[in-house]
Amino acid sequence: MSTQNLLEVEGLRKEVAHSSENGSCTLTILHDISLNVRRGETLAVVGASGSGKTTLLGLMAGLDLPTRGTVRWQGQDITTLDEDARAALRGKLLGFVFQSFQLLPTLTAIENVMLPLELQGRKSARSDALAALNRVGLGQRTGHYPKHLSGGEQQRVALARAFVVNPVLLMADEPTGNLDAATGADIIKLMFAMNAERGTTLVLVTHDDALAARCGRIVRMSGGHLAG
């Protein structure tokens, strides 16, 4: 592995079984994808709906396993690890921002941000979470539950949760997909500002050309293939 590469994907293929009236068959969602991401890079993965970009992101994050191929983080092949080991590694290295926010509805904003820190056993979880919420402009909303927050506020909480662990790698799946244009623009600005402050490597999936253009490199997917 090159010391400049944080993430390396080699020969990644994803197949799923599919049943229909005509019988069962195997669908190939990703076709032998190879891709390197350098430390500190900002990379956008773009493509039409169904092109395989979200599946690729999930495999690169270790949220799912490929049919074949490897994904390496800092030289370690995460496809050889079991689910618990991958989750533990994500907790140390990765922040993830979802389109649908993925906040726990029974936890307040500060409790959602504290959660990954508590899983690490960090004693300063509450103070660190409060600082993160202040950074995203929600210092006065710490006790609110997700249902009492707007979509933009929920995504700000999600950003705070992703960055609070000081990840070396941040992944984002359509982070503005559920937001109106103005709110989405605010979230984009905030995400890139925080990313620059921390020197985090950023990989995001988007159909938003304006968001993709903010990244240093763009790769396009079509029909499960990298198109360039």
| Domain of residue 163, residue span | 39-67+75-226
DSSP, res 78: G
Q: Is residue 33 part of a domain?
A: no
Whether 113 is covered by a domain: the verdict is yes
Nearest in space to 137 (alpha carbons), one of 117, 156, 161, 155: 156
Q: List the structure tokens of 155.
A: 């995504």
pLDDT for position 3: 62
The CATH code of the domain that includes 160 is 3.40.50.300
List the beta bridge partners of residue 36: 8
Phi, psi of 134, rounded to the nearest 5 degrees: -60, -40
Establish if 5 belongs to a structural domain.
Answer: no
- Identify the pLDDT of residue 228: 57
Query: Which DSSP category does 146 fall into?
Result: G
Q: Using one digit for the tens of pLDDT, what is the confidence trace for 79-120?
A: 999 999 999 899 889 999 988 889 999 999 999 999 999 988
Q: With beta carbons less than 8 A apart as the criterion, state whether 207 and 31 touch.
A: no
State the Cα–Cα distance between residues 70 and 84, nearest whole angstrom: 18
Is 12 part of a structural domain of the chain?
A: no
- Per the listing, tokens 């907790």 go with 91
pTM of the full structure = 0.88
What pLDDT score was predicted for residue 124?
94
Q: Do the domain assignments include residue 18?
A: no
The C-alpha atoms of residue 84 and residue 62 are separated, in whole angstroms, by 11
Domain-embedded: residue 135 = yes
Beta partners for 223?
Answer: none
Q: Which residues of the chain have pLDDT under 50?
A: 1
The 10s digit of each residue's pLDDT in 47-68 is 988 899 999 999 999 999 999 9
**What's the total number of domains in the chain?**
1
- Determine, yes or no, domain membership for 13: no
Question: How far apart (Å, rounded) are the C-alpha atoms in residues 60 and 41?
Answer: 15
What does the longest C-alpha to C-alpha distance in the chain come to? 58
Flag whether 57 is in a domain.
yes
What does the pLDDT read at residue 194?
87
Sheet holding 23-38, edge to edge: 23-38, 5-20, 68-73, 76-77
As a whole number of angstroms, the distance between CA 62 and CA 171 comes to: 11
